[in-house]
Amino acid sequence: MKKYDYLIVGSGLFGSIFAHEATKRGKTCLVIERRSHLGGNIYCENRDGINIHRYGGHIFHTSDKAIWKYINQFAEFNNYINSPIANYKGELYNLPFNMNTFHQMWGVITPAQAAAKIDEQRKEARITEPKNLEEQAISLIGTDIYEKLIKGYTEKQWGRPCTELPAFIIKRLPVRYIYDNNYFNDRYQGIPIGGYNVIINNLLKGIEVLLNTDYLKERDTYQNIARRIIYTGPIDAFFDFQLGTLEYRGLRFEFEKHNVENYQGVAAVNYTDRETPYTRIIEHKHFEFGKQPVTWITKEYPATWHLGDEPYYPVNNKRNQELYQKYADYTKNESDVIFGGRLGEYKYYDMDKVVASALHLVEKEFE
């Protein structure tokens, strides 16, 4: 007789949602987490009354009404709208690329003038079928914006020239011929009031949790403790890297306290030149419209990733996709283990997609 119905490895959004839904259905769950805190990458650390997004600024956004309703059960969301600023060598531009940006870049006033300017630059570049990120960006938005707002940022972020990066990375960003600085196109957006820990604590209320417990280091103790395992750690680590290591882009966060009420006037400023070593500065209090007398900021430094570092962004190239597929084939022999979440599925998942994927698993598991 196994002690639990489910062992859940990892207390991020994926694991916590699964644990919550399974418990609700009368199943017994144990959640183990290798870090010293719950929540995975959405964890917040409160300092001076400010919720610091410990692993980078997180904004919840979705177009899916059911997902929005679901997540709102666990926290009340504020009306924060992400409107980052780009700083290129002291010149400031609104993001995403919209009429404000075009006006700041060229002095144009009407959408027709902006479109003509972009079209002129596109034609000069003579790109017919974009083959890489550079060509994709130029054909989307012209050379000026590419040179000032995309090239430096992207090369820092991914550690490679834009000519060697896939075009799809840049397709995440909206391009608009209206005056609208909302970074996302989604219908619903906000920050949970009180930070993301409110969501995780509500999801895991009454559920048994062990922190500082690494499943892979204590397999003997845990692998037979439950009927099934939900594993949300890196898929290659589960199989002892037998086929090789999946690559990630690393990140280093530098936290600073400043004795001013307002450091930069907005939650996110992107430094889009190549020379500034960090990609962005997050001022956390603005996510919740804080009025504290002091402030906390984080500088985000992209970094080369080495095995053992925290994995952040999956590197989506052919090699890694093929390798992932081979590991995914291995999982078919693990009938009692389910792999989920951004590390288990090696996917650049936003939070709403993680919620959807966890709920999909719940449906499958308990249908």
Enumerate binding residues for ligand UDP (CB under 6 A).
86, 95, 149-150, 153-154, 157, 169-170, 172-173, 270, 272
Binding mask 231-260 for ligand FAD (x = CB under 6 A): -xx-----------------x---------
Q: If 0-12 CB within 10 Å is exposed, 13-18 middle and 19+ buried, where does residue 293 land? A: exposed
Q: With contacts defined by CB under 6 A, how many residues of the chain interact with ligand FAD?
A: 34
19 binds ligand FAD (CB under 6 A): no
Question: Of the candidates 259, 284, 265, which has an alpha carbon nearest to the alpha carbon of residue 51?
Answer: 284
Residue by residue, DSSP assigns 122-172 as HHHHT-SS--SHHHHHHHHH-HHHIIIIIIHHHHHHHSS-GGGS-GGGGGG
| Residue 280: active-site member | yes
* Structural tokens at position 300: 């985000």
Beta bridge partners of 192: 77
Annotated catalytic residue within 25, 172, 219, 274: 172
Nearer to ligand FAD, 134 or 247 (CB): 247
Query: Given the complex with ligand UDP, which of 3 and 172 has the nearer CB atom?
Result: 172
With beta carbons less than 8 A apart as the criterion, state whether 225 and 336 touch: no
Residue closer to ligand FAD (CB basis): 114 or 281: 281
Catalytic residue among 280, 312, 346, 349: 280
CA neighbor of 53 nearest in space, from 248, 190, 191, 181: 191
Locate 338 and state its tokens: 């389910």
Rounded Cα distance between 200 and 214, Å, is 19
* 356 lines the binding site for ligand FAD (CB under 6 A): no
The nearest distance, CB 329 to ligand FAD, in angstroms, is 21
Decide if residue 173 touches ligand FAD (CB under 6 A): no
d(CA 255, CA 296): 7
Is 172 labeled as catalytic in the residue annotation? yes
Binding site for ligand FAD (CB under 6 A): 9-15, 32-35, 40-42, 55-56, 58-60, 214-216, 232-233, 251, 312, 341-343, 349-352, 354
Show which residues are catalytic. 172, 176, 249, 280, 300, 348, 350
